[in-house]
A and B are shown apart, each in its own frame.
Chain A
Amino acid sequence: MWQAIYEELGSHGFVPITVALDKDAEDARPYIERASPTHPSLIDTQHVVAELYHVVNVPTMIWIDEAGRIVRPHDSQFGTDTFTAFHGKHSAPYLDALRAWVREGKGALDPATVRSHQIQPTAETQLARAHRALAWWLHQRGVAEAAERHFLRAGELAPKDWTIRRGSMPIRGINPMGPEFFELAKQGVPLYPMEELPVEGGASRKS
């Protein structure tokens, strides 16, 4: 998927970088090998990117310009249609906006708009990440019972963070597509807490 976009836009000075928030490389391997990517396809077991960018659900995408500045924060747009039936969003407008940005420099948001769409961390969400880090360290050392305590505590502190609550399920031996997932949805945990960002410059797609 992103390989095709890379082949299409790479010559315009563009690189996609995928980051899998998975418990080990083997979970992400089938996705990466199927795509045969030549762009960076990374594994983030420690949730380094989730922490640094305050990502609370996946999939999500962030635009970073040539100077290393964020010109579109992560939001509720999707790059694929894998779950369109579930959330009702289509990827085509987003991908067209991406093309317009890369080719014509259109669609980068002004700093005030980017800032207003950032999800703000709180003392609770940051403490949740510390408990998640502790849980992950304990899990890797095979101390499952103590790890479970801290995964649960992290989820209590950040009830709207899917990377913590759902992302911990495979580590804790829970099916992330099973009843516990639907229970989260039933609790009204929003898939993404921000209002949608505008998708502009997307009219260039030829029908």
Chain B
Amino acid sequence: MATSELFTLLDGERVTSLRASIDGDAVRITPDDLRDATGWALKPEGLCQGDVCIPVRDRAALADARGVDLAAFARALDRPLALDVAERVAALGTSATERSASLATLEAPDFSLPDLHGQLHTLSAHRGKKALLIVYASW
């Protein structure tokens, strides 16, 4: 028996609260919520983001009247999904294929992070200089 619950979907740095239909381990959300939370829209041609569409092999498994199945959505895009049904939260990751392709371009991925004072710094603001990115930790 499916129940409608508050649910949180993490997609990179994007955090979305929505309502999900939960039935055992299956979590379904509405196509509108999917689009708002991930940028992917369910269309007749498949899952689409901007001009890019991914055909969906098993449409019945992806979506029905109850909504879009999160695990099937992740599978359709070849993206990892970490799911905690009990805590009503899931995290979508980046596929190995996409990350490998991004690394292979050798373009330094851009990011913005805060300093100790909370001020944000963006890597690409230093374009035109040689930059040494030093990743460390106190541990």
Contacts and interface: CB of A to CB of B under 8 A. Distances in A.
Contacts, number: 216
B59 interface: no
Contact of A42 (B107, B114, B131, B132): B114
Contact of A61 (B81, B128, B134): B134
Given A14-B130, A52-B111, A59 B135 contact: yes
Interface residues of B, number: 50
Of listed B94, B102, B116, B132, residue having the most chain A CB within 10 A:
B132
A101 B106 contact: no
B93 A61 contact: no
Interface string A138-160: 10000100100110010000000
A49 B135 contact: yes
Contacts of A143: 87
B58 interface: no
A169 B113 contact: no
A27 B116 CA distance: 11
B91 A130 contact: yes
Contacts of B100: 120-121
B107 A18 contact: no
A59 B132 CA distance: 13
A41 interface: yes
A49 B127 contact: no
Interface residues of A, number: 84
Contacts of B109: 52-53
Contact of B93 (A54, A120, A127, A149): A127
B88 to A, nearest CB: 10
B124 interface: yes
A70 B82 CA distance: 30
Interface in B44-103: 80-82, 84, 86-87, 89-96, 99-100, 102-103
Contact of B129 (A5, A66, A122, A138): A66
Given A13-B129, A101-B130, 4 more contacts: A28-B116, A28-B138, A98-B132, A102-B130
21 contacts: A2-B132, A2-B134, A13-B130, A15-B131, A21-B136, A21-B137, A32-B116, A40-B121, A41-B115, A46-B13, A49-B133, A52-B102, A52-B109, A58-B137, A64-B131, A115-B103, A118-B103, A133-B10, A146-B86, A150-B84, A177-B139
